[in-house]
């Protein structure tokens, strides 16, 4: 799977992505709102390169610069029928430059066309205002708050 945008490409992870992925996923201040963090290189290798091929189980995708293939961030997608659960993280040096918006829009479009997605769901930890703003900007509707998590949903058809 490869999805190209104006500035980036969404693709499966490669071995060369592991060290930069680990750098921002193990920055506990940056990742304070995220759950997939603080692991060893071997654990990330297992999760991203060896056991990462099924949308039903959940799949982590790399967001890389279209020209030099440097890792910008990552997306997570999990499928339940025609409902898809979405997550996203951008490395701190690429934050607030529109990469999350660009990548999420491209992934949602791809899911609608190639996977028959009807609904996209996303959860945001309380206090993660930037992530909330992104979802609202993209048309997601607030559903509920439970256990310090706000849930949002986007209906595609």
Give per-residue pLDDT as tens, 72-86. Answer: 999 999 999 999 999
Q: Does residue 35 register a pLDDT over 80?
A: no
Q: Which DSSP state fits 120? A: E
C-beta separation of 44 from 13 below 8 A: no
**pTM, entire model:** 0.92
Across the strands, what pairs with 9? 4, 64
Domain covering 2-155 assigned CATH 3.40.50.300 in the classification: no
Over the stretch 93-145, which tens digit does the pLDDT of each residue have?
A: 999 999 999 999 999 999 999 999 999 999 999 999 999 999 999 999 999 99
Model pLDDT, residue 52: 64
pLDDT given for residue 13 in this prediction: 95
In the DSSP assignment, the letter for residue 115 is S
DSSP β-ladder status, 8-11 and 2-4: antiparallel
The pLDDT value recorded for residue 132 is 96
CA distances from 142 to 82, 84, 122, 154 (A): 19, 16, 10, 9
pLDDT of amino acid 86: 97
């Amino acid at each position: 799977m490869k999805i190209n945008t104006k500035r980036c490409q969404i693709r499966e992870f490669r071995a060369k992505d592991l060290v930069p992925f680990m750098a921002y996923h193990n920055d506990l201040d940056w990742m304070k709102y995220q759950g997939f963090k603080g692991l060893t290189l071997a654990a990330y290798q297992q999760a991203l390169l060896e056991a990462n091929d099924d949308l039903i189980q959940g799949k982590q995708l790399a967001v890389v610069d279209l020209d030099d293939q440097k890792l910008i961030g990552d997306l997570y997608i999990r499928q339940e029928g025609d409902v898809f659960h979405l997550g996203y993280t951008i490395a701190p040096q690429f934050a607030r430059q529109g990469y999350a918006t660009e990548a999420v829009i491209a992934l949602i479009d791809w899911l609608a066309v190639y996977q028959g997605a009807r609904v996209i769901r996303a959860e945001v930890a309380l206090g993660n205002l930037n992530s909330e703003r992104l979802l609202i900007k993209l048309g997601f509707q607030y559903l509920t708050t439970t256990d310090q998590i706000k849930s949002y949903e986007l209906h595609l058809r």
